[in-house]
Amino acid sequence: MAGRTGTGNSARARWLIAPRGRSLEAHLIESLGVHPVVASLLVNRGVQDVAAARSFLRASVDDLHDPFQLPDMEAAVERVLAAISGREQVLVHGDYDVDGITATALLARFLYKLGLQVRHFVPHRFRDDYGVSFRALRDAAEQGVSLAITVDCGVSAAREFERARELGIDAVVLDHHELPPDAPRVPLVAPKRPDSQYPFSELSGVGLAYKLAAALCTRLGLSVDSLRRAFLDLVAVGTIADVVPLQDENRVLVRQGLPLLGKTRKAGLRALLDLCQVGGEPRVSDVAFRLAPRLNAAGRMADASTAVELLLTTDEEWARKAALHLEAMNRQRQREQQRMFEEALRLAEREVDLDEDRVVVLAAEGWHVGVVGIVASKLVEVFNRPAVLLGIEGDRARGSARSVAEFPIAEALEECDSLLIRHGGHDLAAGLAVSVERIGDLRERLNVLAAERLDLEELEPVVHVDRVVEASEVDLALVKALQDVAPFGEANAEPCLACLGLRVTEWRTVGRDDKHLRMTVEGNGSSFGCIGFGLGKRARALAEWGRVDICGMPERDEYSGQPRVQMRLEALRRAGS
C-alpha cells in the first residue's frame, strides 16, 4: 500500500513532482490551520475549497450517503422485509476473496440478528466457476431457501437467477463490479449501473452489504450507530483488502472502522490480530499485509469457507485453531507464489517483447488458479503494464488479470467477450476463463486495444512526488501532521516527499544478503536517518554520487528507545539527475 508505482526503486524511474497550488494552499493553511505540507497534499488529492478539505480531514459518518439513493435499494429492502415477515430461509452467497468473505459474514450475522434463518455459501476455488454458483442455488432450494442475496458477485449471473427462479428462489444482488450488457432482472444494488444516481460508485462488496444493513435499520427503526459499532471492523478489513479507492465513503468507513477493529470482540478477528501481533489501532498496512493474506489464503488454495466460519464463530478456542490453519495455508500460498513468479519471469523473457507488448499475457500448466492474481500483480510491478496470468487445465485456462489505471481491464475484457468463456471484475482486477486455443487470440486482441490507449511513455516507471521539502522540515511534527491525511491506500497513497541535494554522512547495508540500505543525510545543518527497503544494491554508488536526492514517507522511529524521525525511502538518485 505504501508504494506509488511499485517501480520506484528502479534507477531508471522518472520523478514527477506535483505542481504547487500555492494560492489554495495558503487559503487552507489560514482557514483550517493545517500544516503546510498537509495543505499541499490536500490540493494534490483534488481538494478544491475549504469545505471539501474540512470534509476530507473530518471523515465523519455524517458524510455517508443515504443508502436509499442506491439503485434498487428500496426493492431489496422490501424483499428482505417480506422474508422476515414470512420467516423465510435466506442464502447469503458471497465470493472467495476477503471482500466477499467479510460481506458474507456481515450479512449473515446481521440477518440472523433480525430473526431470519440464514445459510451462507462462498464458492470453492476448484469446484465452482467464477461468480454465482447454480449448484449452490439448487442445493439451497432443496433445503427450503426462498431468497438468495449475493454479495460481491451476481451482475453476470442472469442465467443462473432465471433457473433459480424456476426452483422458487428470488434473488437480490449487491455487487460493485462492472455490469455486462445482459445484467440480471432482479433487484440489483450496483453503484456502477448506468442509471445509478448514487454520489459514489466505488464502494466495495462489503460496503454494499453494510449499506443494505443500514437501510434495513432505518426502515425497522433500529440504531444505525449500533450497526456501525457492530460491523465497521469487518467493513474496514474488506474495503482495504479489495484495494478500492480510499476516497469519499470508503475513506470514512476505513477511518471509522480501524479503531473498532483494534477493539473488536469478534473471536475470529481477535485471533487473527493476536496471531499477527497487531496491537492497538491497526494500520491499513496491517490489514493489507497481515490480516488479508491469511483470510485470503483458504480461498486461494481451495475452500474459503474456513475463513467465513472464522468471522462468524463465537468460540475463542476454535477461532485460535482456525487462525493457525489459515497461517499454514498462507505459508503454502507463499511457497507456491514464489515458484510461479520465478516461472513467469522466465516465460516472459522468452515470450514478451517489452518494446512492442503493452499487455503481458502468460499461460502455463501447473499454475495454481488461486495464486495467479497475486503473481499477476507482481508482474505489473515489475513491467509497469497490465498482466494476465492463466493456469491451463486441459482444454481451458482460468486466471486473473491485473492492470494500471490508464487501462481499465474489465472494460478491455468485455471487448474480448467473444474470445472468452467467462469474465468479470473492475478497472484494476478481473477474473477470466478462456479455451486454450484462444489464448493467442486473446493476447493479440488485448495488445491491439492497449496500443490504442497506452503510450509506451506511460508504461515507463514513475515516482510521483507530492512535494519538495527542506531537510529542516522533516521532523516529528510533520510525521504527526501527515496522519491527518490517513488512512492511506488506493487513490490516497502515502505521501511521497522529496529532499534534494543532501549530503550522505554515513551508510550501511542491513538485512539478509545486505538487501536494505540504512543511511543518515544532512542538509543545511539538519540531519535525519533513512531506511531504504530493497535499496541495498544502491549503496555502492553513494560514494561516487557525493550528494543525493531522496523521496519517501517520514515516519516515527523508536528503535533506539528515543523517538526520532526517519524517512522510509521510495527512491534515491544522484543529486540533480
Strand 89-93 to 145-151 pairing: parallel
When pLDDT is averaged across residues 166-192 and rounded to a whole number, the result is 95
More confident residue, 13 or 255: 255
Is pTM beyond 0.85 here? yes
pLDDT of residue 10: 52
- Rounded mean pLDDT of the chain? 93
pLDDT of residue 11: 58
More confident residue, 126 or 315: 315
User: What is the distance between the alpha carbons of residues 356 and 144, in angstroms, rounded to a whole number?
Assistant: 56
Q: Is 144 within 8 Å of 138 (Cβ atoms)?
A: no
pLDDT of residue 260: 98
CA 427 to chain centre: 12
Domain ranges of the chain: 14-56+462-574, 63-261, 352-459
When pLDDT is averaged across residues 366-375 and rounded to a whole number, the result is 92
Burial of 502 (0-12, 13-18, 19+ CB in 10 A): buried
pLDDT in tens, 534-561: 999 998 899 889 899 999 999 999 876 7
With a cut of 50, say whether residue 5 has pLDDT above it: no
pLDDT in tens, 471-500: 999 999 999 999 999 999 989 999 999 999
With a cut of 70, say whether residue 21 has pLDDT above it: yes
pLDDT of residue 1: 32
pLDDT of residue 301: 83
With a cut of 60, say whether residue 4 has pLDDT above it: no
When pLDDT is averaged across residues 352-375 and rounded to a whole number, the result is 93
Q: How confident is the model at residue 298 (pLDDT cuts 50, 70, 90)?
A: confident
With a cut of 60, say whether residue 56 has pLDDT above it: yes
When pLDDT is averaged across residues 300-308 and rounded to a whole number, the result is 88
Least reliable range by pLDDT among 270-279, 447-456, 554-563: 554-563
With a cut of 70, say whether residue 7 has pLDDT above it: no
- DSSP letters spanning 90-152: EEEE--SSHHHHHHHHHHHHHHHHTT-EEEEE--BTTTS-SS--HHHHHHHHHTTEEEEEEES
In sequence order, which residues have a C-beta less than 8 Å from that of residue 148 and are 6 or more positions away? Answer: 90, 91, 92, 93, 137, 140, 164, 169, 170, 171, 172
What is the domain class of 63-261 according to CATH? alpha beta
When pLDDT is averaged across residues 142-152 and rounded to a whole number, the result is 97
With a cut of 70, say whether residue 6 has pLDDT above it: no
When pLDDT is averaged across residues 381-392 and rounded to a whole number, the result is 94
Q: How confident is the model at residue 396 (pLDDT cuts 50, 70, 90)?
A: very high
For residue 15, give the 3-state DSSP assignment: strand
With a cut of 60, say whether residue 380 has pLDDT above it: yes
pLDDT of residue 424: 85
pLDDT in tens, 69-96: 999 999 999 999 999 999 999 999 999 8
Percent of the chain with pLDDT over 90: 85
Domains 63-261 and 352-459 share a fold: no
pLDDT in tens, 403-413: 998 899 999 99
With a cut of 90, say whether residue 459 has pLDDT above it: no
Q: What number does CATH give the domain 14-56+462-574? A: 2.40.50.460
Tell me the chain's radius of gyration from C-alpha atoms.
Answer: 24
The three-state DSSP-derived secondary structure of 218-236 is HHHCCCHHHHHHHHHHHHH
Percent of the chain with pLDDT over 70: 98
More confident residue, 34 or 546: 34
User: What is the distance between the alpha carbons of residues 126 and 145, in angstroms, rounded to a whole number?
Assistant: 25
pLDDT in tens, 226-245: 999 999 999 999 999 998 99
List of E strands, 403-447: 422-425, 429-435
Q: What number does CATH give the domain 352-459? A: 3.10.310.30
Q: Is 176 within 8 Å of 191 (Cβ atoms)?
A: yes
When pLDDT is averaged across residues 353-364 and rounded to a whole number, the result is 93
